[in-house]
Amino acid sequence: MDIIRIDRLALDTVIGVYDWEKRIHQRLLLDLELGWDIRPAAETDDLSKTLNYAAVSERLLEFADRETFELIETFAERAAALILAEFQIPWLRLSVHKPGAVPQAQSVGVTIERHA
């Protein structure tokens, strides 16, 4: 299986457990590895035969803008389920980073791996 990558996709969403966090948008950074067979697209140089990473990115941006979350774990699970279902991806690895959550760290985060 081949892997299509989207690195450091920046999106803003309402996320956090504290009252003040529930009133603001915060930045999350996503790293995605998406399992896909790229051979048909490579053979024909045809976008319609591959996974459109721009469409995946746009869908995640829309998802983050419309939903609210307390935990990055919840965000990761729901985002993974959405992408697996809507784009018929057989496998993905998703890392979610929340910069500034711990002042002494560049970011905190989770990484999950899911199969369809």
* Catalytic sites, residue numbers: 98
Q: Which of 110, 91, 115 has the alpha carbon at shortest distance from 28?
A: 110
The side-by-side arrangement of strands in the sheet containing 2-15 is: 68-69, 2-15, 26-36, 91-99, 107-115
Three-state SS at 79: helix
